[in-house]
Chain A
């Protein structure tokens, strides 16, 4: 019965969205938002780089990022005469409001856990730009805040992003000086995921599931209250999240492809491992790659895009006995991820995109096996599909500047890491 109601609700929502499209097709979105530091620097209109839904980038904004946050003109330079000495290339971003959460088995056996609070999620200080021609940088500072996450969990200070990027290195190999075919990034940064998690408007409260799923650990959305009633869980020492800032180096590039009227992009990375024993910079490495090809545009506001990505890495399973404070963890065991992604657009107002992923974690990464049974490789499949609509003018309300978003996430386990655990254990469905 509940499933039927949910399906009907979903159909109504989809039909509602589709009915809106019959009203408004014509104009481009007149306004949008930007990281104000860039808007101040270039005196850009906001919609130059963003769809109405910062932090999501439009096609030009993505190209600007791919080119290392520079336009290729003298006005990029920090010392250019048009950039006032009072200019400080920093933006601050915060989210405040009321958040309510309900969690638990419905009905018997304890009912639900429920909480709700006013407050704020976190604070980010962001700075991106160039240090000199063809030398870019990015910094995000998230300070330690006792009352973060709506008062429920203090945060530790960190730099989610801290990198320097050297652009147009192909010029040293006889290539074009401004093609952006070979660029090297070093530091800590978000991997070039199928679709950026940092730039998804739901990142603060409802992250994309497949980026944050681990076999055996009962999935909860971001920062849900712990639930002591979950059972049968087992450990998986693979990296806890694909969307976190990782320490590593990237070789990336972009090239217009005339035969598709689009772009080919690639990103090849080597990261120091993360995980229960690896956060201090262990020897184990993770290799990640992502390639995309677009058609008739970049594939976010215009045209279409397909892509493939893969992860292959070792996660440490032991800590070094001599020290726990420096990067000496090891005895890494392998994990792999392969994902396909696609994006299509319509009328400059609609973007349907998503990804599917296949994951395989070595049985040697599975823990808690003594109590639950023999170990085996953990294998699962997942994915998401998201529909974004930024209407030129919303029917009935009649004003621009809105973003409406629906996303469905799912995960299905193909083989549990412990043989005795039920096959459907920790399968996930999520709607937002």
Chain B
């Protein structure tokens, strides 16, 4: 995961956020197979 601060002040915060997640759960699929999930997100996290 990375975050880059595009703008920051005492009034507003803007960050570019990118993350990738890979996970596996054992034996939860059909016929006891493993299940794998992947997530990718990129976007803006902001506060004011």
Contact = CB atoms under 8 A, between A and B. Distances in A.
A9 B20 CA distance: 13
A35 B47 contact: yes
Contacts of A100: 39-41
Given A104-B29, A109-B33, A401-B4, A97 B23 contact: no
A202 B45 CA distance: 11
Interface centre among B17, B25, B30, B38 (most CB of A within 10 A): B25
A interface SS class? loop
A405 B2 CA distance: 6
Interface in A360-398: none
Contact of B23 (A40, A54, A429): A429
B23 A430 contact: yes
Contacts of B23: 209, 219, 221, 409, 428-431
B37 A102 contact: yes
Contact of A218 (B28, B36, B44): B28
Contacts of A104: 29, 35-37
B25 A427 contact: yes
Contacts of B11: 36, 39-40
Interface in A160-215: 201-202, 205-206, 209
Contacts of A102: 37-39
Interface string A298-317: 00000000000000000000
A144 B34 CA distance: 35
B interface SS class? strand
Given A39-B10, A424-B26, A426-B26, A201 B47 contact: no
Interface string A391-432: 000000000011111100100000000000010111111111
Contact of B17 (A105, A201, A422): A201
Contacts of B30: 105, 109-110, 229, 231
Contact of B27 (A36, A43, A92, A424): A424
Contact of B10 (A43, A53, A206): A43
A54 to B, nearest CB: 6
A201 B43 contact: no
Contacts of A357: none
A155 interface: no
Given A230-B29, A233-B28, A427-B26, A221 B44 contact: no
Nearest to B4: A402
Nearest to B20: A432
* A-B pairs, 6 with minimum CB distance: A97-B43, A401-B5, A430-B23, A105-B29, A39-B10, A218-B28
Given A97-B44, A205-B19, A428-B23, 12 more contacts: A31-B8, A36-B12, A95-B43, A96-B46, A98-B42, A101-B39, A105-B30, A109-B33, A201-B45, A202-B21, A206-B21, A432-B1
